[in-house]
Structure 1
């Protein structure tokens, strides 16, 4: 089978937008689909931000950025979006019914040879294989946020996925500069989210229950030399995705604390239009979050002792 050159990304949110931009930067022709012009305008704005990152951090030339823009197109028409696709990557909200509906709508519109991959964070691809209408051509291809820096992608089959599909999708991952991580059994959360979701849920519990501030949670993580902590990760992933994951799994497992954490994110962030790094504010403000400032881990002076003690034992 020929290389997958024409990519369609369903969903223009944080990861969908990043997958689209990076794939175009690596030479693929990319169509970005979303259900509203407003969403696509947000994606275009994010792409302009990524242009600056690639120029400043990845050594891209102005010619590289111009070529990347030329390889990108945007549409709200699903039939147009997938008409010439070699590969469709689904990155719509982490809500099972939403994903299934998109697959069912798309199935009769796809060319015969088109492969389909889901970027779902925690759901199993086998849940949607039938809805795609081509189970043998369907697998999971999960990227990490800020994929230009965290350049790995997890590849996972469902029972009907063909070896040929896995072969060509893995080749695609390598062609766009990703380290392919094979997931040897179908598993909710792949590798990274199997440890990341419990970490984020535990960190959010400390904030939800008033045990610590977001900044102090991150300080306990950053002293190990990490670039960002759990609460910064919420901002990077995006509050909507984080909410969807915690709300769904809290309900599925009966985990009342996880559900409470989801409710906290909704009340403090989603209801106020604060979606994380993507919109400039979440737990931190961007582009210069507090955790990147030189004094974030500074040892305080003795004059700070009374205020610290009052936080532990209020007057």
Structure 2
């Protein structure tokens, strides 16, 4: 199974990074997004972070972008010759179900479908597709070029040759492939990270301390480069809200409801994190960059 033509469906914070990284490594990449201007904005916003993270140049960024051959809202045209589709639409089962219903009839028989979701595991989404043997999850970390892990998870019907092809693809885009032996919500990365972020948000939702104080304590106590609320701002609060809402639906825990009630006014006000210029902090001149933050 040879992968040449890559489609990234959904150019959010991580989807745009996945598209850029594949293009950076020589793949001809097409990006599908319902709002083309938003996809263009997110890909442009990658430039400064990529250059800083990788000690790269503007030319390096431009060379990668040259391999993104289209950014379109026309799904049929975008996926017409896809070898691999990486779905990175919103973390909502209803949105994903509707997307797969639209996607699958348009695909060539050869196409492998993957989801970047870790909120949902493959067995929860595979039933929305028409090719269980060619469906798996391919999950990446934020700042993909720097935190270069690719978690690969099949469903019980996934063809082993598909897993092998995804391992080879991950390596070809400078990732370290991690193949899980069985499904686990959050896989490895988020099975460890999400409870940590939840614990911080419970402290905030219960009025124990404000987000800046919680971050400050964690960073000073553990020598950590980021606090949990700084991480949330990078992830984006819409994604955080979707994850917490899913946890609430599964557990009906009042703690998750409290967190949702705290997040919703921020999201309604447009304070959704780094990309919006404000979340728990203001950007680009964040409070934690000030000399007195840790005093």
The aligned runs of 1:185-196 (5 Å cut-off) are: 185-196=182-193
Distance (Å, rounded) in 2 between the aligned partners of 1:212 and 1:154:
34
Q: For residue 141 of structure 2, what is the aligned residue in structure 1? A: 144
Aligned counterpart in structure 1 of residue 288 of structure 2, from 284, 287, 291: 291
* 1:283 match: secondary structure: coil
Contact 1:228/1:291 (8 A) holds in 2: no
Q: For residue 6 of structure 1, what is the aligned residue in structure 2? A: 5
1:51 pairs with 2:47? yes
In structure 2, the CA distance between the partners of 1:136 and 1:202, relative to structure 1 (3 Å rule), is: same
CA deviation string 1:92-151 (max 9, x = no partner): 111111111111111110011111111112211112213221111110111111222211
CA deviation string 1:23-52 (max 9, x = no partner): 21121111111122xxx3223222222222
CA deviation string 1:71-101 (max 9, x = no partner): 1121111111211111101111111111111
Contact 1:125/1:157 (8 A) holds in 2: yes
The aligned runs of 1:1-315 (5 Å cut-off) are: 1-2=1-2, 4-36=3-35, 40-72=36-68, 73-223=70-220, 224-267=222-265, 269-298=266-295
Contact 1:155/1:180 (8 A) holds in 2: yes
* 1:128 match: secondary structure: helix
Aligned residues: 293
Relative to the length of structure 1, the TM-score reads 0.89
CA shift for structure 1 position 272:
0.6
Q: Which runs of 5+ in 2 are unaligned?
A: none
Contact 1:251/1:259 (8 A) holds in 2: no
CA shift for structure 1 position 291:
2.5
Range that drifts further, 101-110 or 42-51: 42-51
RMSD: 1.5
Q: Which runs of 5+ in 1 are unaligned?
A: 299-315
After TM superposition, which residue ranges in structure 1, 4 or more long, deviate above 6 angstroms? Answer: none
Distance (Å, rounded) in 2 between the aligned partners of 1:277 and 1:212:
22
Contact 1:156/1:184 (8 A) holds in 2: yes
Contact 2:33/2:39 (8 A) holds in 1: no
In structure 2, the CA distance between the partners of 1:293 and 1:161, relative to structure 1 (3 Å rule), is: farther
